[in-house]
Amino acid sequence: MKKLVEFKLKDGSSFYAEIEIPESEGVTRAGRKDLPAEANMMFEDAINKVKPMATAIIESMRSITDPGPEVEVSFGLKLTATAGAVVASAGAEANYALTLRWPGGK
C-alpha cells in the first residue's frame, strides 16, 4: 500500500515521500489512518546508507584500463520507512534516479 512518509532533515525541517509500505512493516502511524507515517531515521542518514556502494562503484570504474571519454553509472534509489534509501530493483519505481558521471581515465 502506498503511504506518505515524513522524513525529517537534520536542520529540523521535513518532507513527505510517497512510498510502498508492506502491511507487515512496522512504522509509527499517526492517530488517523490517512495521516502520514514517520520514517524512523533522518533523511540524511537514509541517503548516507548508499555512499559505500557508490564509492565502490566509482573506485571500480576508475580502475578500468582503457575507459571511454566519459564513464556513467545510473541506478534508482527507493525510500522505505524502515530501511531508508535502498537500490531499486530493475524495472521498479524509484524515488530518485542517481547518475555517477566523471571523465574517463580520472
pLDDT digits (tens, 9 = 90+) for 69-78: 887 888 888 8
- Single-letter code of the amino acid located at 76: G
8 Å CB contact between 21 and 81: yes
For residues 30 and 36, give the distance between their C-alpha atoms in angstroms, rounded to a whole number: 7
pLDDT at 95 over 60: yes
For residues 103 and 81, give the distance between their C-alpha atoms in angstroms, rounded to a whole number: 36
For residues 96 and 75, give the distance between their C-alpha atoms in angstroms, rounded to a whole number: 9
pLDDT in tens, 20-54: 766 665 555 555 556 677 888 888 988 888 888 88
For residues 41 and 104, give the distance between their C-alpha atoms in angstroms, rounded to a whole number: 36
pTM of the model: 0.61
